[in-house]
Structure 1
Amino acid sequence: MNLSQEEWTEKLQADENAVILDVRTEEEVEYGYIPGAINIDIRLGQEFVEEVGKLDKSKNYYVYCRSGARSASACSIMNQLGIENAYNLMGGILEWEGDIIE
């Protein structure tokens, strides 16, 4: 499900079952990431699928990348793997107005 920055932030803050997932490359993460995020690079292909398959399906995942395209794909893959609640941050970290750890 695609959410605007505001919707994503509001939903995340109210969610006690939330996990933030950054699907960018390690190099991109080094430039900064949203606090509390775990990183699984979608460009790893099958390894991404395997790592996502290990995630707790009962959690709600707030997924982001640089601009929102890769995270949209990641949410789709996650849905196919049985994770019902995967929320894509439209605009990605480029448009993120919250805290970033550098």
Structure 2
Amino acid sequence: MKIYYVYILLCSDETYYTGITSNLNKRLFEHNSGENADSYTYHRRPIELVYYCEFTEVGFAIDTEKQIKKWSKAKKEALINSEYDKLPNLAKKKFK
């Protein structure tokens, strides 16, 4: 059974990068080595893996990656810090 990983990287400029791969170690090496000069992480190295989760269905992994990419930095940090109780409130729009 193939495993797919959705991961979040902390970049040197304190931004987050979210991606998907079927080979996490290889993909981290590619990010850190600067294999692709056009990638988001190229000028933001070094990077640090701060979160990942595993999926056996690629469709679920893709959907999760797309969802996380839309999240605010605060919501990503709650996920990274296992503060799951904060996630619903961070999803709500603030009205003034």
| TM-score, structure 2 normalization | 0.26
Please identify which structure carries the higher strand content.
2
TM-score in terms of structure 1 length = 0.25
Larger Rg: 2
Which fold has the larger relative contact order, with Cα–Cα distance below 8 Å and residues 6 or more apart in sequence? 1
